[in-house]
Amino acid sequence: MSGSSERLQFWKCARCGTQNPQRSYLRNCVGCGALAHVRERATPRVDWAQLFAPVAKVPGWVISFKTTITGYLGDVVTWCVGQVGRVRSGCQGPLYWVFVCYLIFMATVMLLAWTLGDRWYPATLLLYSPRVLWLIPLLILMGITWFSSRRALLVVQTAVLLGIGLSWGGFQVPVERSLFASSFNPLAKIRVLSFNGHYGEDLKVDQFVRFLESERIDVVCLQEFHRSLVEKDTRLKNYFAKWHWDGAGYIVSRLPIVLDRLATPDRQLGYLPGKGVLGWLRLADGQGHEFEVMNLYLPSLRSWFGHFLVLDRGRMNAYETERKLKVANLVKIMSGIDRPLLVAGDFNTAGDSPLFRPFLNRFRESFETSGWGIGSTFPSSMPWIGIDHILVDRCWRVNMCKVGADLGSDHRPMVAELDLLQLRPTVR
């Protein structure tokens, strides 16, 4: 047959990638119906072997090896260029513009929360909202894209999902611990627990004791759970029988107490419990290395939300002013400490709130440094916001930080394993 001698030619659809025969009567793609003129531009193949041609006589096996490697490299570059073209072709149409609108909306939400949170009540509501809910529209868009002809857009959507999850969603990867690990041998190793016990209501005592034993805790900082409540339960009283309590009854330690700051008032510091300090101890390990432990409890946002529900702007502003004043006083107090300092407690403040940032001038947040996953501690049944923190200065190395299981309180416990590296803080 005369037609058999002719080579059959094809053109590739730029929308779905279907190979279509080159025929005059075929004006649309057989795969998706796109017009025949919407074709994928041929990607020129890079001749890497010609570019790196030898200029002198070399052994044959070297030339063969170089040709093979440059050939593979050319294939990789050609594939990458083709994938970029496919992604660009997917970035059009209604789905793409809905996705762009979602991006603009999320950028606005994050900008408001990170700049005006705890300052302006609409931004505060965004800051403390369940953040996983903001990802649902993107997941729905990705599902629709999967069943459409614009699957190339999934690459961009996946990248955005990871970016929002790591920043706005609070998912942490211990990058700092991995990249900037110190080789210094620690002077001491301390395991710290911060736990809001919610006045012992519904506390799973046996599970709490097992948790303390399994985690080998050295220092416990309690909030809404006083020593008097601990000693009412025989199991807790027996467990802490040989531990050392501070005078206020909110810090208990295996290590000996050198100084109890609240038991020895300082006129310059003023009344510390009124500034959010539940306990403040100077402890010493077995070798005499001393360090400071501070237990904080900032005003809860429950009262703020109560004022918001009745639209009492005056009390809302007064409450925000009180929280700012306490943070400013605490930062001022901490700046005068010339020993290793770790601060644990219920801050009732998100880690990315503008109100929390003054602490980060000197301290690092332990979970952001060495935590895996999401460090949310409240509410315990389904935690979606992290308001409990363990802060350390540059004298410490954070080996591990994690959020514990539900122990019956409305908060989940937070545990950190710390290495004491030096006895004097360094200036950043």
Q: Average pLDDT, whole number, for the chain? A: 84
Judge if 192 and 151 occupy the same domain. Answer: no
**Is residue 271 domain-resident?**
yes
Q: What's the confidence (pLDDT) of residue 111?
A: 95
SS3 content of the chain, % helix, strand, coil (to 5): 40, 20, 40
Structure tokens that stand for 311 in this block: 């639209």
Residue 32's pLDDT band (cuts 50, 70, 90): confident
39: alpha, beta or left? (left if phi > 0; alpha if psi -120 to 50): beta
Judge if 36 and 149 occupy the same domain. Answer: no
- Residue 384 · residue 363 · CB < 8 Å: no
Among candidate residues 418, 405, 352, 416, the one with its CA nearest the CA of residue 377: 405
Measured from the Cβ of residue 242, the count of other Cβ atoms closer than 10 Å reads 7
Q: What is the C-alpha separation between 121 and 127, in angstroms, rounded?
A: 10
Higher pLDDT, 63 or 136: 136
**Is residue 80 domain-resident?**
no
Higher pLDDT, 345 or 70: 345
Structure tokens that stand for 95 in this block: 């789905």
Average pLDDT, integer, range 192-206: 93
Lowest model confidence (mean pLDDT) among 28-37, 96-105, 324-333: 28-37
Judge if 336 and 412 occupy the same domain. Answer: yes
Q: Which long-range contacts (CB under 8 A, 24 or more apart) does 128-133 make?
A: 128/301, 128/350, 128/385, 130/384, 130/385, 131/168, 131/169, 131/170, 131/384, 131/385, 132/169, 132/384
**Is residue 49 domain-resident?**
no
Average pLDDT, integer, range 144-172: 85
Judge if 299 and 373 occupy the same domain. Answer: yes
Average pLDDT, integer, range 66-73: 72
Beta bridge partners of 222: 195
Whole-number CA gyration radius for the chain: 30
Q: Which long-range contacts (CB under 8 A, 24 or more apart) does 31-36 make?
A: 32/149, 36/11
**Is residue 54 domain-resident?**
no
Instruction: For the chain, count helices (H), then strands (E).
Output: 13, 16
Q: Convert the pLDDT of each residue in 285-333 to its tens digit.
A: 888 899 999 999 998 888 888 878 888 888 888 888 889 999 999 999 9
Q: Virtual CA dihedral for 109, 113, 115, 120, nearest 10 degrees?
A: 110
**Is residue 77 domain-resident?**
no
pLDDT of residue 428 exceeding 70, the answer is no
Q: What's the confidence (pLDDT) of residue 101?
A: 93
Q: What's the confidence (pLDDT) of residue 4?
A: 47
Q: What's the confidence (pLDDT) of residue 5?
A: 47
Judge if 146 and 256 occupy the same domain. Answer: no
Judge if 286 and 371 occupy the same domain. Answer: yes
| Residue where a domain terminates, one of 167, 197, 221 | 167
Q: Which domain holds residue 133?
A: 94-167
The structure's pTM equals: 0.77
Judge if 110 and 209 occupy the same domain. Answer: no
Q: Is 173 strand, coil or helix?
A: coil
Residue 181's pLDDT band (cuts 50, 70, 90): low
Judge if 384 and 327 occupy the same domain. Answer: yes
* Percent over 90 (pLDDT), the chain: 48
Structure tokens that stand for 139 in this block: 């997941």
**Is residue 69 domain-resident?**
no
Judge if 102 and 28 occupy the same domain. Answer: no
* Percent over 70 (pLDDT), the chain: 84
Judge if 283 and 356 occupy the same domain. Answer: yes
Q: What is the C-alpha separation between 177 and 398, in angstroms, rounded?
A: 7
Q: What's the confidence (pLDDT) of residue 42?
A: 47
Orientation of helix 302-309 relative to helix 313-335, angle to 10° = 160
Residue entry with tokens 């190395």: 397
Q: What's the confidence (pLDDT) of residue 1?
A: 47
